[in-house]
Each structure stands twice: as structure tokens, then as C-alpha cells.
Chains A and B, each alone.
With several copies, the nearest count.
Chain A
Amino acid sequence: MSIEVKFFASLRETLGIESTSITSSAGLTVREVWDSTTDSAAYPVNTLCAINMDYAHQDDAVKDGDEVAFFPPVTGG
């Protein structure tokens, strides 16, 4: 399966990745997507994640074609 992965704000800068994609023959969780795309970098406390533009949890399963995103706590408004 093929997964689109995006990083935002300080995570994007720290990791030096804005977006990437991965393919995998096995099922993956969100956290496994992180590990695959960041070379298993430490997962900062408070990191938020989304699947297809909805908030998700680290251990949620990802499907083929999903877009997964990682970002720090939000600071809008």
C-alpha cells in the first residue's frame, strides 16, 4: 500500500521533511508510519497526528491511499 505523509511547523523544520510517501506490503499504524519516514526518530510528547485530515491516534491503522500528518500542538486563533 501507498501512504502520503506530511509534517508541519516545528516538526517539519526539526525533521527536515515537509512531505514524503511510503509503500508497504504490511498493514501499518500511524506510529509505524512515523518510524518508517523519520528513521525511527523520537516521537515528541504532545505530537498530534491525523489520517485524511481528521485527528487520529498513534495506534490507529492506516489504509492504502491514506494521507497521514504529524504536527505539534496547535497555536491558532
Chain B
Amino acid sequence: MVMKSLFSRRSPGVNMPAFLLEHTLNPLQELEQYQNTHLTAGSYGATASFTGTMRDFNAGDNVQQMTLEHYPEMTQKFLDQLCNEVMSKWSLVDCLIIHRFGTMKPGDAIVLTAAWSAHRKEAFSACRYLMEELKARAPFWKKETTGKGQRWVHEAGD
């Protein structure tokens, strides 16, 4: 299983639950797998999650393919710090970020964020904050292939 190897990289208490992934991301399967292996049933009441998916349309053009460049060491460091930040900012049981890089097609999942907590308010807020910070500050750069050729995406999307 892809996911077992992904999550086994995490040594509890050492690494934060942030993963960079070059191959296909199955967000809901990875979320379930993570939950089954890292969370204790009954210990949390709220799970908020978000998946960002590549659309086949952007800025008025059909998009055939996208390559997501990153700065491996800085990107990992940024994601780790972001997990630390949300874990200290909200009362959470756990959080998770999985972010693709490399080449992807429309319909492919790009990013998964999740937060577990006792109550829904914290889970929703933390999950959303993870996405807002990823969009605003995580070192990733999108290059799209359209019928007109390749182009860098110049602004973080909504």
C-alpha cells in the first residue's frame, strides 16, 4: 500500500504530519488510513477535511496538464511549521497535510488538509487556516499546459 509507506515515514513526536507526495493522491483513502493508524476512535468528535483538486479549466482556457514545482527542503519545513502552528493555535487532537508535486492531470487531487478535535469549531477553523496558509505562503509554483502552450500561474487561486 502506498499509504502505509507514506505514513510510516512519520516517527511520532519527531516529525509533523505533513507529507509531500509525487505520485497520485487518493485523498479520502489516505485520510481514512491516517485516521485508522494515528487517531483513537471515541477520542475526537469532529473531523474537518478539505481536498483541492485540479480543474480542467482556468483563466478562460482548458487546462490539459499541470506541473507543480516546489523547493523540497523549504516546502517540507514550511508544512511542518504550519502543522506545529495550528496544533498550538487550536485545541486539536491531530492535523494532516498531504500535498502533491510534479505532473498532474485534471481531476487529480493536489492537496488534502484535515483537523481533528473534540468540537467542530476548532476542526473547521484549523482545517481552513491550513489551506489559507498553504495558498498564501507554501513554496509551490504551478505551470499549466493549455492548447496555447505552457504558462506559469501568476496568482494563488481562490
Min CB–CB distance A45 → chain B (angstroms)? 12
Query: Do A75 and B71 touch (CB < 8 A)?
Result: no
User: Given A76-B135, A76-B141, A77-B134, A50–B74 Cβ distance below 8 Å?
Assistant: yes
Query: Do B71 and A76 touch (CB < 8 A)?
Result: no
B108-158 residues at the A interface, CB under 8 angstroms: 110-111, 131, 134-143, 152-157
Chain A: CB-nearest residue to B133: A77
- Counting chain B residues whose Cβ lies within 8 A of the other chain, the interface size class is 20 to 34
- Counting chain A residues whose Cβ lies within 8 A of the other chain, the interface size class is 10 to 19
Residues of A within 8 A of B155 (CB): 73, 75
Task: Tally the A-B contacts, defined by beta carbons under 8 Å.
Answer: 74
Name A's B-contacting residues (CB within 8 A): 6, 8-10, 50, 53-55, 69, 71-77
Min CB–CB distance A51 → chain B (angstroms)? 10
Q: Name the residue in A6, A9, A74 with the highest tally of chain B Cβ atoms < 10 Å from its Cβ.
A: A74
User: Given A71-B139, A75-B142, A77-B111, A9–B69 Cβ distance below 8 Å?
Assistant: yes
Residues of B within 8 A of A74 (CB): 135-141, 156
Query: Do A69 and B71 touch (CB < 8 A)?
Result: yes
